[in-house]
Chains A and B, each alone.
Chain A
């Protein structure tokens, strides 16, 4: 008789992490082996759907190329193609080395530590990673290219206007959505799976959808209309539409502008708000009483939006009047000249946006009446990934503000700006509140101790990225700058970073030209890297690699919190879910959070870490961590959950049920008129930032060529380096686009994703318009070089498509690995980032946003 085969089938509920959406998943195990991953229909995050990455995730768990033991570098030489000569060591040996290195800099200068993370696992890094950073006492963190390329501009502007990380149309009620360089609901992006369903339902319902983008991507392919545009010129088109709306068509929501924005604030000849001498508050003109009053004076009977007024002998105009005059320069003819969008199209877009806004209409939802503005202008990485990032985003946002469609039914929604909390505990809870000059402050942000507005005062740089001098910058280019040392010297940085703790970021590939990055990385004394795969960063520069547990092996108590990051917007449900180990970590892999907890303990940082976690997770009362005792990571997660949801919903409850779901209320989604806050059309505060930052720069004697004209309060189209390129040889705009099958640089190693990518004509090749190619004598499939004006070049095959602007070249994702340790990914696709310059001339002077567009020449490779 043969042995009886026991068949044990088990489903575990968890959260994905193949990008930072963290969709709810159900994982099937057979006899302990993971065999399938599905979406969790009980979770509002993903709604039972899973993208190709999520489905393929189990291949990460069992990939024979994973790092399974701690590795120490034995080759002291470092470089892009250097063999590190790894040697396996034990965890105990590794921990001893780490603690010794960290103790040294903690005692001398904690600022020398850099915590480096990846946006892919942002929710893990934002938890223990950042808590460790704060406990250690370093101001330095870096999120690789996933951070630097992603949203310095869009997140800032969405924070200021919507108290949110990003923006989606209200798919339930929107009738016209115009996307400027975004793919929300059609591909990559925030909570892609949930909003794909919402977007599809909206299209069936009849929502018209227009995509403005140099590339016909997943969103454009499903749109009613694709409007190709020169990369980085979105502000010109948007300002042209605003000009038509307010100067030609007279279409604007006067009530919204008067009560929810600074449109009535008076501006004097010095271009500053006219302020009350006693209170310092901005003033408005009351046309009924014919006198100026502070903006929140209870006697105000009406607000003037237009005209010129004299107050104490000073002539001043309302912001709206100034805006009208400012945008009048953006005629359809001029817009066409800048953007190549035909002037007739500019007029058509503006007219339709204005008509469909239905200004003055209301809608009843849940028995309550709300203003109804079923149009939305949405912007994200495409429009913001330029030197003129901030202005591009503000310009598009003005469309929503002019017609009053912000956070009302049918309009452009921040997600999720308001939360009333789980009904039984009232937690988590937040909503925007009024700040200086009546302007909105966010209710929550990705870190609880900081907000996008008010922007902190510039300070003499303490951060290696100079972010404290340019405090609206989340991410900085300095990490990859070829003149990094000169920058630090000029800005008198008092120390030099010397140790990196990396968590999954392949910064050699994801930031820009790898040569200067390599030179910068060589200067670090010690680099520790938690990784699931060896890659170009680890092999080239890490001294110690720690085998990280992947998302199917680790515990995260809040993969979707705060939900401005990756929880679906609009009506529907709230879901709080955990990520739990589906299997115990295989081999010698260990979870990042658990290892950091142990390092902190060994460094004597228990109290600092626990107190930081108490603040970070807002732990109160009996759920606070007590430094007098030691907790496991599981115990901490249990407290985090019970603190929010009560004693009966701790870790064990979540392990069993996976997700806690409750209904959203309409007032949480459509909050704009309920909360007494305004938003600025006129960013007067940029003058204060400029003056303070410039003073510091001058005091330091820094010679950096900073264009302070980017600090004007009203947005303009400001040309980027690619627009100003005069050498006609470099005649094509190169950019990369996000490919739904891939996240950042690491998913090319997943065999299923590679297989579909290989079979897609474009994913691993260069997109070119056939007319452009023919003019250059190039044929479909030709092997070509593309080269930037600085002599960097990459090779690849061109594929014809009419879905790209004739003056542009499109590249998918962050591909082109050269490291042997990722054999599936090696040699696949194009390493576009090599063409990016990471220097002062290619960053936005307000928020240090990197310009991701580069002028290129193309020629056949012999």
Chain B
């Protein structure tokens, strides 16, 4: 795959104060894993995003959930599941829940 395409990214939850807008488009040139894509978003938005979404070791934090369109991506599949240009019109959705223990 060589052609450039855009992926719609939607943000939900405790990240709005960082990203400022609920939806962006990200240009990708080739397939990448969900993990790589999140790191790319972290590079775009900087340390505040990184701290909110990733652990010190660079893993996606437990209180983050990701879906592609209507399908939730299992934590175990973050390295395997691929983000593809276009994604059949499906948005990449990133949910950051408040990192709390319970109620």
Contact = CB atoms under 8 A, between A and B. Distances in A.
B16 A615 contact: no
A474 B100 contact: yes
Interface string B35-69: 00000000000000001100110000111010100
B97 interface: yes
A138 B93 contact: no
Interface string A615-635: 100000000100000000000
A134 B54 CA distance: 18
Contact of B99 (A119, A159, A450, A692): A450
Contacts of B100: 139, 141, 447, 450, 463, 467, 474
B14 interface: yes
B14 A125 contact: no
Give chain A's interface secondary structure class: loop
A137 B97 contact: no
Nearest to A604: B22
Give chain B's interface secondary structure class: loop
Most buried by A among B15, B17, B51, B63: B17
Contacts of A119: 103
B81 to A, nearest CB: 17
Contacts of B65: 449, 615
Most buried by B among A446, A449, A459, A467: A449
A450 B102 contact: yes
A755 interface: no
B95 A615 contact: yes
Give the contact-size bracket for chain A: 35 or more
Interface in B59-85: 61-63, 65, 67, 70, 72
B103 A451 contact: no
A454 B63 CA distance: 12
Given A134-B12, A457-B55, A449 B62 contact: yes
A471 B100 CA distance: 7
Contact of A139 (B14, B61, B62): B14
Given A456-B63, A457-B56, A615-B65, A141 B98 contact: yes
Interface string A678-708: 0000000000000010000000000000000
B86 interface: no
Given A450-B63, A456-B62, A456-B63, A138 B14 contact: yes
Interface in A449-491: 449-452, 454, 456-457, 459-460, 462-463, 467-468, 471-474
A391 interface: no
B63 A474 contact: no
Contacts of A156: 101
Contacts of A111: 14, 17
Interface in A104-128: 106, 109-111, 117, 119, 122, 125-126
B12 A474 contact: no
A456 B52 CA distance: 11
Contacts of A462: 14, 52
A417 interface: no
Given A122-B103, A447-B103, A459 B51 contact: yes
B63 A611 contact: no
Contact of A155 (B55, B98, B102): B102
Nearest to A147: B103
B98 A463 contact: yes
B101 A452 contact: yes
Most buried by B among A134, A471, A607: A134
B13 interface: yes
Interface in A588-616: 607-608, 611-612, 615
A180 interface: no
Contacts of B56: 457, 692
A122 B61 CA distance: 26
A165 interface: yes
Contacts of A574: none
B98 A624 contact: no
A450 B62 CA distance: 7
Interface of B: 10, 12-17, 22, 51-52, 55-56, 61-63, 65, 67, 70, 72, 93, 95, 97-103
Given A155-B101, A449-B62, A452-B101, 8 more contacts: A119-B103, A147-B103, A446-B102, A447-B103, A449-B97, A462-B52, A468-B99, A474-B102
Nearest 7 CB-CB pairings of A with B: A137-B16, A474-B101, A446-B102, A139-B98, A449-B97, A139-B14, A134-B13
28 contacts: A109-B17, A133-B98, A134-B13, A137-B12, A137-B13, A137-B15, A137-B16, A137-B17, A139-B100, A141-B98, A141-B100, A141-B103, A159-B101, A447-B97, A449-B95, A450-B62, A450-B63, A450-B99, A452-B101, A457-B55, A457-B61, A462-B52, A463-B100, A467-B100, A474-B103, A611-B93, A615-B65, A692-B56
